[in-house]
Every structure is written in C-alpha cells, then in structure tokens.
C-alpha cells in the first residue's frame, strides 16, 4: 500500500515536471514570436520619427535670365524615390525677381484646389481660371476662394545658379503645411 502511494506521488511529480517543461517550451516559442514580430513593428512606429527629411536644392537657372518684376514660369524636375523605384516629376514654379538678387519662387499650384494658375501681364496679377482665384505679383490673395497666399519656396543663389527647395503643401487650408 505504501508503494502505491509512492508510485502515485512519483507519477504526479513526473506529470508536473512534464507540464512545467511544456509550459516553458510554449513560453519560449511565444517570446521568440513576439520578438520576431515586435522588432519590425517597433521599427514601423518609431522609424518615421527618426527619418531625416532630405533637403534637395534644385537649379532653376542663371539668375540673370530673370527680369526684375516680371514673373517667369519655370519647370523643375523632382526625383521621387520609393524603395528601388525612381520617378521624375515635372513641377511648375513661378520666379519673381525682386530688387537686385532677391527672388520669390512660388509653387505652381493654386492654394485653393491645386489648379495651375498663370500670369496675366495686362492685369499685373496671377489668375487661376478654374475658380476665379486672383493673386498679386507678391503672391497675396486679391480675389476668389484661395484660403492663403501662394506657397513660397525657399531659394538661394549658389555657384552662379538660382536654386530652390521644391515642396508641395496641403491645399484648401488657411495655414501652410507640408503635404
């Protein structure tokens, strides 16, 4: 009888150690999977905050080609990279040479809905034909629905070339915010 109780106790002890072993194996597998899946998930969440935005200066041309006070249309080729795919996009801008070597370069999209606007020399203003937006030569809204002035881009003259940092902005809002 005593041997029966010893056998039962030994069987319970063996069964408990097997359960503990299986629980440890399952726990190890769960920890491995959590680590294996968790590290990329953390990278997706934290990565954009650590990513530096590249500032690319694009050349528009020789500053002397732009006449003072005369808005001139120009096109920029913006290279977009998405992984291994590289695409070239043509982006219109308007260059206004102010006094001396001061330049204003405006994004070529109306701030209302992103339509292309044009310079109307006979009226001395920019006009968006789609919804009646009208801007002064300095980019301020004169009439129509645009919620803010034309989007001004950063410029510099370096190496004898007028350069600009092209960006697109959120449309239809009173505040200028990068898109």
SS (HEC) of 5-29: HHHHHHHHHHHHHHHHHHHHHHHHH
**Residue 170: other Cβ atoms inside 10 A:** 13
- Kindly report the backbone phi and psi dihedral angles of residue 20, in degrees, each rounded to the nearest multiple of 5, phi listed first: -60, -45
CB proximity list for 157: less than 8 A, separation 6 or greater: 63, 101, 103, 163
Lowest mean pLDDT among 2-6, 43-47, 111-115: 2-6
One domain, residues 133 and 47:
no
Here the CATH number for the domain that contains residue 84 is 2.102.10.10
Lowest mean pLDDT among 19-23, 46-50, 80-84, 165-169: 46-50
One domain, residues 85 and 156:
yes
The sign of the torsion formed by the CA atoms of 121, 76, 157, 160 equals: negative
pTM over 0.85: no
CA separation for the pair 67, 97 (Å, rounded) = 6
CA separation for the pair 121, 15 (Å, rounded) = 93
**Residue 5 confidence (pLDDT) above 80:** no
The answer to whether residue 155 is domain-embedded is yes
One domain, residues 82 and 104:
yes
Band the pLDDT of 53: cuts 50, 70, 90. low
One domain, residues 62 and 44:
no
The answer to whether residue 179 is domain-embedded is no
The residues that bridge with 68 in the sheet, in sequence order, are 97
Answer for the pair 159, 126: CB distance below 8 angstroms, yes or no: no
The total number of structural domains in the chain stands at 2
The residue segments making up the domain with residue 145 are 58-165
Band the pLDDT of 52: cuts 50, 70, 90. low
One domain, residues 38 and 66:
no
């Amino acid at each position: 009888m005593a041997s029966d109780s010893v056998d039962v106790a030994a069987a319970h002890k063996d069964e408990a150690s097997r359960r503990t072993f299986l629980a440890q194996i399952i726990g190890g597998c769960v920890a491995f999977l959590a680590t294996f899946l968790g590290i990329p998930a953390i990278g997706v969440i934290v990565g954009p905050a650590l990513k530096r935005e590249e500032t690319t200066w694009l050349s528009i041309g020789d500053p002397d080609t732009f006449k003072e006070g005369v808005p001139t249309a120009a096109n920029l080729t913006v290279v977009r990279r998405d992984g291994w795919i590289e695409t070239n996009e043509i982006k219109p801008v308007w260059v206004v040479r102010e006094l001396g070597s001061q330049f204003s370069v405006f994004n070529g999209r109306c701030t209302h809905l992103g339509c292309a606007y044009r310079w109307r020399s006979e009226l001395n203003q920019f006009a968006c034909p789609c919804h009646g937006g009208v801007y002064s030569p300095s980019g301020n809204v004169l009439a129509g629905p645009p919620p803010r002035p034309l989007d001004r881009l950063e410029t510099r003259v370096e190496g004898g070339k007028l350069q600009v940092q092209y960006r697109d902005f959120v449309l239809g809002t009173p505040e200028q915010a990068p898109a």
